[in-house]
Amino acid sequence: MDFKRLVNFVRVAEAGSVSRAADRMRIAQPALSRQMQLLEEEMGVRLFERHRRGMALTEAGEELRTRLTGPLRQIEQVFEDVRTLSRAVGGNIAFGMPPTTSYVLAGPLARSVVAHAPNVSLRVVEGYGAHLIDWLQRGEIDAALLYGPASDLQLKAEELLVEEIMLVGPPDSDLRPETPVSFAELSKLPLVLPSHPHGLRIVVDNAAARARVPIDVRFQADSFLLMKELVESGLGYTCLPLSAFSREAEAGRLRHATLENPRVTRQLVLATQPGNAATRATSVLGTLVRQEIAALVAAGRWKAHLMYDPADYATLSPR
């Protein structure tokens, strides 16, 4: 089996046509078309349905694309690791984050990668927990920040931090950080939350179950920014960690209060694919993630309790 032909198959599948893929890869279209024909002959099945506007994957083609994406990424990263053993760490890393975490961490992490691992190309992929787990298991991303606890995941996961979930309301609400709100009071408020099975919704639903009170989810929004917009416009309340709305709180656009009976927290873990040795680039990224989280917590920009010792990650290794 020709490895390059498999890589090109994935590129054609992503582009939706041979001509677009050929343009992106800067290779001749007839040569690429011939490679796809040879691959279909070798597989013994049709991988594409061809039409005037391009190409669509058949059921067999979609199955091949799904199964190839992760292994091909891993093989390419292995080649990069071996190629750069005598040089600084390099390669392409796809890193998944929930939107609430990306809001506070993505910018500092990107700057840290540029400063300390300039040969690493970082792609930040935003998604809710269920999507991130699926992408990680399929090998479409290399690592991800997920809601814990780690014991709930069938992945390789290391605990990072615990942070408190706040009740967030519009600017004209009477919420104040020094005045806690019980879940019994929260049950009387219209809520704006993501749909199932997203991590934040699970955290809130579990807390409501412990308090034995129903909650009134008036709007379901699977967009973190839309959730905040709906709350700011006065259509309801939501539940978020302070790190996810700190800028709006400082500007007076959102108000918040702590929750009690029960107190609500979320745990964040760093997850990678089970059974796979971490590449050099992934290991470096894990160190940078921990360094940036520790710096944000120390500066007061992320109100959280660390579950690791920052001193263990004070130096970047391997280079």
Kindly indicate the confidence band of residue 319, based on its pLDDT and cuts at 50, 70 and 90: very low
Q: What is the pLDDT of residues 259-277, one digit of tens each?
A: 999 999 999 999 987 665 5
Confidence of residue 317 (pLDDT cuts 50, 70, 90): low
Q: What is the pLDDT of residues 102-133, one digit of tens each?
A: 999 999 999 999 999 998 899 999 988 888 88
At 318, the pLDDT band (50, 70, 90 cuts) reads: very low
Say which amino acid occupies 100: T
- 312: phi then psi, degrees, rounded to nearest 5: -70, -15
What burial class does residue 245 get, using C-beta atoms within 10 Å of its C-beta: 0-12 exposed, 13-18 middle, 19+ buried?
Answer: buried
CA quadruple 168, 173, 176, 177: dihedral, nearest 10 = 10
pLDDT at 27 (0 to 100): 86
pLDDT number for residue 304 = 95
Q: Which one has a higher pLDDT value, 71 or 317?
A: 71
d(CA 297, CA 272) in angstroms, rounded, equals 23
pLDDT of residue 278: 67
- Contacts (Cβ under 8 Å, ≥6 apart) of 23: none
Q: What percent of the chain has pLDDT over 70?
A: 93
DSSP label at 315?
A: S
> CB neighbours (10 Å) of residue 139?
19
In the predicted model, is pLDDT for residue 153 greater than 90? no
The per-residue pLDDT for range 155-210, each reduced to its tens digit, is: 888 999 999 999 999 999 999 999 999 999 999 999 999 988 788 888 899 999 99
Report the pLDDT averaged over residues 242-249. Answer: 93
pLDDT, tens only, 54-92: 788 999 988 888 888 777 777 776 666 566 554 567 778
Q: In angstroms, rounded to a whole number, what is the distance separating the alpha carbons of residues 228 and 230?
A: 5
Phi first, then psi: what are they for 149, rounded to 5°? -75, 160
Quick check: 2 pLDDT over 80?
Answer: no
Q: Which residues contact 173 (CB under 8 A, 6 or more apart)?
A: 237, 255
pTM: 0.72
The average pLDDT across 306-313 equals 94
- The C-alpha atoms of residue 171 and residue 81 are separated, in whole angstroms, by 51
The answer to whether 100 and 242 have CB atoms below 8 angstroms apart is no
Q: Give the ranges where the chain is alpha helix by DSSP (H).
A: 3-15, 18-25, 29-43, 59-83, 99-116, 129-137, 183-186, 199-211, 224-232, 246-250, 280-298
Residue with tokens 């930040």: 124
- 215's tokens: 């909650």
Mean pLDDT rounded to a whole number for the chain: 88
Provide the pLDDT for residue 138: 78
208/259 Cα distance (integer angstroms): 11
Of 52, 44, 47, 57, the C-alpha closest to 16 is 57
pLDDT of residue 189: 96
The lowest-confidence range among 92-101, 191-200, 238-247 is 191-200
What are the structural domains, with CATH classification, of the chain?
3-82 (1.10.10.10), 83-159+268-309 (3.40.190.10), 161-266 (3.40.190.290)
Residue 24 structure tokens: 């992106």
